[in-house]
Amino acid sequence: MTLARRLALFWLPAYAAFYVLFLYAPVLLLPLFSVNDSATPTLPLAGFTLRWYSQLAGNQEMINAAWNSLRVGVSAAVLSTLLGICGARALTRYRFAGQRPMGALIMAPLILPEIIVGVSLLLVLLSFGMSLSLVTVTLGHVLICVPYSMVVLMSGFEGFDRSLEEASADLGESAFGTFRRVTLPMVAPAILSSLLVSFTISLDEFIIAFFLSGPDPTLPIYIFGQLRFAARLPAVLALGTIMLVASFLLVTIAEILRRRAARRTHTSGGLFV
């Protein structure tokens, strides 16, 4: 066996396995220590317990934060998906002057440091005398969710067979009827996928919320505040575990939906490619 073949057949897969382990091990420590019967996350494990989870259930401060996150997340998801639909449809369906610079600005939050986005929004909102609240957090979250919505929706819209819409119009459907009976069913999975992805991003987002939130904290802000108290770490780990599971489920469903949308319009690529 040549060196190159050994590399391809053994070392590369072995490296891939190690890499996945490196990616997952730190993340999986949270669930592990969230059921560990000890006030500090140390080895060896002390035994199984669910008391950190039951502590959470009675924590009104945490429940309020969760409620805030839910409201911000749903609003941000709906708004960024609506804006994403406009942008993605415009960029995939039409050719127009200024398309590239406009697209670049819309996608810019993907590459800008989040602190720059947060600080500049903060400065403008305060200069205009707006007080910080969940509304300002939502405004910021929409900004950073739109690029992701665009990616998901463009993969659903691209390759969309326009002759189907034309056929529907030729057969006498109104513009709205065509949209409702032809366009919408084809792109519905992509839209749902965009909603889920944006919600997940908003739910997990910390920096923008850190700068733009007023007296009402979102869940990551609440967690950040709790990190100062060592004694509350296990409860934070339990909460973190719940958020991990939620993110995982939402993203998995979003990816399944996106693939279904891409299959319908016969394209590939998107969130993960």
Restricted to residues 171-230, the positions that interact with another protein (CB under 8 A) are: 200, 203-204, 206-207, 210-211, 220, 223-224, 227
**Which is closer to another protein, CB of 109 or CB of 216?**
109
Window of 11-19, 57-65, 175-183, 187-195 that interacts with another protein by CB under 8 A: 11-19
Answer whether 67's CB lies under 8 Å from 220's CB.
no
- 20-39 residues in contact with another protein (CB under 8 A) are 20, 22-24, 26-27, 29-30, 33
**Taking Cα atoms as reference points, which of 269, 68, 78 lies closest to residue 158?**
269
* Residue pair 156/193 in contact by the 8 Å Cβ criterion: yes
CB of 195 to another protein, least distance (A): 15
Residue number, 168 or 200, with CB nearest to another protein: 200
Least distance in Å: CB of 129 to another protein? 13
CA 62 to chain centre: 21
Binding another protein (rule: CB under 8 A), the pick from 77, 134, 143, 238 is: 143
> In the complex with another protein, which residue's Cβ is closer, 140 or 168?
140
For residue 20, the one-letter residue type is: V
Q: How many helices (H) and strands (E) does the chain have?
A: 13, 0
Q: Residues 100 to 129: which contact another protein by CB under 8 A? A: 102, 105-106, 108-109, 111-117, 119-124, 127
- Nearest approach, Cβ of 49 to another protein (angstroms)? 17
Closest CA to 202 of 125, 131, 144, 116: 144
How many CA atoms lie within 13 Å of 155's alpha carbon, on the beta-carbon side?
A: 24
Q: Count of residues binding another protein (CB under 8 A)?
A: 91
Binding to another protein in span 60-99, by CB under 8 A: 82-84, 86-87, 89-91, 93-99
Which of 240, 257, 261, 264 is in the footprint of another protein by CB under 8 A?
A: 240
Q: Among residues 1, 44, 57, 170, which is the contact residue for another protein, using CB under 8 A?
A: 44
What's the gap between Cα 45 and its chain centre?
33
Residue 14: which residues within 8 A CB-CB, separation 6 or more?
none
Q: Kindly state the smallest distance separating residue 214's Cβ from another protein, in Å.
A: 14
- 3-state DSSP helix/strand/coil percent for the chain, to nearest 5? 75, 0, 20
The type of residue at 106 is I
